[in-house]
Amino acid sequence: MALEVTSLDESVVDELGDGLRGDLFTPGDPGYDEARSVWNGMIDRYPALVASCRGVADVIRAVEFARENDVAVAVKGGGHHIAGNAVCDDGLVIDLSPMTSVQVDPAAGTARVEPGATLADFDHEAQAFGLATPLGINSTTGVAGLTLGGGFGWLTRKFGMTVDNLRSVDVVTADGELRHASEEENPDLFWGVRGGSGNFGVVTAFEFDLHEVGPEVLAGPVVYSGDDAPDVIRHVRDFNADAPDESAVWVILRKAPPLPFLPEDVHGVGVVIVVAFYAGDVEAGEEVLAPVREYGDPIADAVAPHRYAEFQQSFDPLLTEGARNYWKSHNFGELSDEAIDTAVEFAADLPSSLSEIFFGQVGGAMARVPADATAYPHRDAEYVMNVHTRWEDPEDDERCIAWAREFFDAMAPYASGGVYVNFISEREGEENLAYGDNYDRLVEIKNEYDPTNLFHVNQNVEPTA
């Protein structure tokens, strides 16, 4: 069992602080509360130390300190993981948030990204050259955590998952060594970080392949009354079955937020939002997405040409930091009528006005990668469901969590049996669902690079060594 940092000699802690270029925060220090805070407002943990790293040398020093003194260690990039794995009680947090560099090589079509960068940081630099790689849908998300869990978003059907576009990484492993990993060098480690959720060390740099995207894309929401949800979702499902890889159409069930293009009398009323995206020529997208936009009697249609980087930030107002969050997730090979009807039934009784259910369409290029090619195993998923259960009052915790769990159980008979590791709220217990048939190989890699399980504050792969 890891020791509490408070049991260590003060001189040992001082030595750590003196050896860092960045800051070392302890309880009571100015900046400590900010350093321990994460995106999910339910997470309120108190580390004994937060090492704010400004470079690889700081990361190595922090890892060596944790190993030599047998203290619990958590790793914070963007701090977005729903389970709050970026912070631990009593131990050491290795805070990578000051490391935000994004270096784009437009001639080579690559980007080298530090682990504190957010999706917004990445897109800002890459889109200066009309380039992008598949990322998520909330621009404040950290690139590191997103990537280590697999990573998917609007570009996934066209270009694959985030990990499919990862060329190499630099990793500080549990022994304090900096290792470069790629298909050619340390390929087992490279395989493991592509979906293994931070189990093998601290990634200090990611190298991504980039693709020509934008700067304008055709994208936006078409909003329908919640009463139309069963028919609308079936129509989207049928459209998606034959849609090209450039097309990604997602469905969201929620109460209508106060968006400027929605009539005021709709605000707070149950709606189904169809979000359409086309990763290609805007005129071609108009033709491809026409059957989606022409269906039924929508309340509003805001599909239009948008700058890609701006569209990547369009959901940020619905996913702001500080709310209380408990999420559940399923993968689906198909959306059956029964699954659709069950989701619509539960959406009629959402536990809060901030909560939503979304079905993100994936497949396409992602599905053409073998399930054992990377640690991320769920290549057969056509949809990823996430239940964004969000609320503000702590007194609503029990009720909201109970609703999410009940809905998760009700959808299980129609799901494929896998979950997306980045959407797991529980700190343990769902690893086999997340890692699937690749779990045993992950254990072998864990035995090689972290046999003492130094990096265990994550969706943990336990070593057997």
**C-alpha closest to that of 330 among 234, 420, 426:** 420
The SS3 call for residue 244 is: coil
- pLDDT score at 1: 46
Model pTM?
0.94
- Provide the CB-side half-sphere exposure for 398 (13 A, CA): 1
Using a 10 angstrom Cβ sphere, with 0-12 exposed, 13-18 middle and 19 or more buried, the burial of residue 295 is: middle
List pLDDT tens digits, range 331-345: 999 999 999 999 999
The SS3 call for residue 354 is: coil
The alpha carbon of residue 21 and the mean position of all alpha carbons in its chain are separated, in whole angstroms, by 29
Matching residue, tokens 């948030």 = 97
List pLDDT tens digits, range 301-326: 999 999 999 999 998 988 889 999 99
- pLDDT score at 428: 74
The structural domains of the chain, ordered by start, are 5-95 (3.30.43.10), 102-212 (3.30.465.10), 216-423 (3.40.462.20)
Contact 224, 272 (CB under 8 A): yes
Instruction: Say how far apart CA 434 and CA 313 lie, in whole Å.
Output: 27
φ, ψ of residue 180 in degrees (nearest 5)? -95, 135
Per-residue pLDDT of the chain (465 residues; tens, 9 = 90+): 455 565 778 888 889 999 999 999 999 999 999 999 999 999 999 999 999 999 999 999 999 999 999 999 999 999 999 999 999 999 999 999 999 999 999 999 999 999 999 999 999 999 999 999 999 999 999 999 999 999 999 999 999 999 999 999 999 999 999 999 999 999 999 999 999 999 999 999 999 999 999 899 999 999 999 999 999 999 999 999 999 999 999 999 999 998 888 999 999 999 999 999 999 999 999 999 999 999 999 999 999 999 999 999 998 988 889 999 999 999 999 999 999 999 999 999 999 999 999 999 999 999 999 999 999 999 999 999 999 999 999 999 999 999 999 999 999 999 999 999 999 998 777 888 899 999 999 999 999 999 999 999 999 999 997
**C-alpha closest to that of 416 among 294, 330, 293:** 330
Q: Which residues of 92-107 are buried (b: 16+ CB within 10 A; e: fewer)?
A: bbbbbbbbbebebeee
Sign of CA dihedral 372, 373, 374, 379: negative
